[in-house]
Amino acid sequence: MAEANCVVIIGMAASGKSTIGRTLAEAMGMAHVDTDALIESTYGMRLQAIADALGKETFLDVESAVVSSANVRRVVLSTGGSVIYREQTMRHLSTLGPILHLDVPLPIILERIARKPDRGLAIAPGQTIEDLFAERDALYRKWAECSLQTGSFSVAESTQAALDYLRASHPELFTPAGN
């Protein structure tokens, strides 16, 4: 099992997990891993094509298996928005390090998804983004050590908020690897 020396980012699709994850990793001198990219590389397909082919529940099982097998160190891990549906996955992620929730208001999420409608979403037929948002919000809050209100912040401001929180609550993450 990896030491608890990673940072895990959770939140809705279009909340900025990958973007902020990359800038946070760079600021902390860590690698960045996007779990959606891990799933895409496992299947050799775009995430939405995988989710469409498998259906929501099977996709969630696949996501859980891929993410739960991650044995990483000194990484900022940006997860897919649906990762919170499988408790065993979240238990694994919580052993890796602090879990930060990017809390972005629904209107901003809807606007961002509209700008990039081909992003991968684990959504059941007939389910709306509003349904997903309502369903997931409590789960994000359950698993997150900290919810960062980042909807009206720039990437730099959001990254700084995460750094400030982590420096105050997890100074060990800022010591060089091996020390």
Q: What is the mean pLDDT of residues 10-37?
A: 96
Q: Return d(Cα 52, Cα 162) in angstroms, integer.
A: 33
**Partners of 77 in beta bridges:** 8, 33
At 77, the pLDDT band (50, 70, 90 cuts) reads very high
Determine the pLDDT at residue 71.
87
Percent of the chain surpassing pLDDT 70: 96
Q: What is the mean pLDDT of residues 97-113?
A: 96
Q: Tell which wins on pLDDT, 178 or 28.
A: 28
HEC profile for the chain? Answer: CCCCCCEEEECCCCCCHHHHHHHHHHHHCCEEEEHHHHHHHHHCCCHHHHHHHHCHHHHHHHHHHHHHCCCCCCEEEECCCCHHHCHHHHHHHHHHCCEEEEECCHHHHHHHHHHCCCCCCCCCCCCCHHHHHHHHHHHHHHHCCEEEECCCCCHHHHHHHHHHHHHHHCHHHHCCCCC
User: Is domain 7-171 classified as CATH 3.90.1200.10?
Assistant: no
**Partners of 50 in beta bridges:** none
Q: What does pLDDT average to over the chain?
A: 92
Has residue 131 got a pLDDT over 80?
yes
Report the candidate in 48, 49, 83, 50 with the shortest Cα–Cα distance to residue 68. Answer: 83
pTM for the predicted model, two decimal places: 0.93
Determine the pLDDT at residue 175.
76
Phi and psi at 43, nearest 5°, equal -100, -15
* Model confidence pLDDT, tens digit, residues 30-49: 999 999 999 999 999 998 89
* Model confidence pLDDT, tens digit, residues 133-164: 999 999 999 999 999 999 899 999 999 999 99
Q: What is the mean pLDDT of residues 5-33?
A: 96
User: What are the residue ranges spanned by the domains of the chain?
Assistant: 7-171
Has residue 1 got a pLDDT over 90?
no
Instruction: List the structure tokens of 7.
Output: 């940072």
Has residue 132 got a pLDDT over 60?
yes
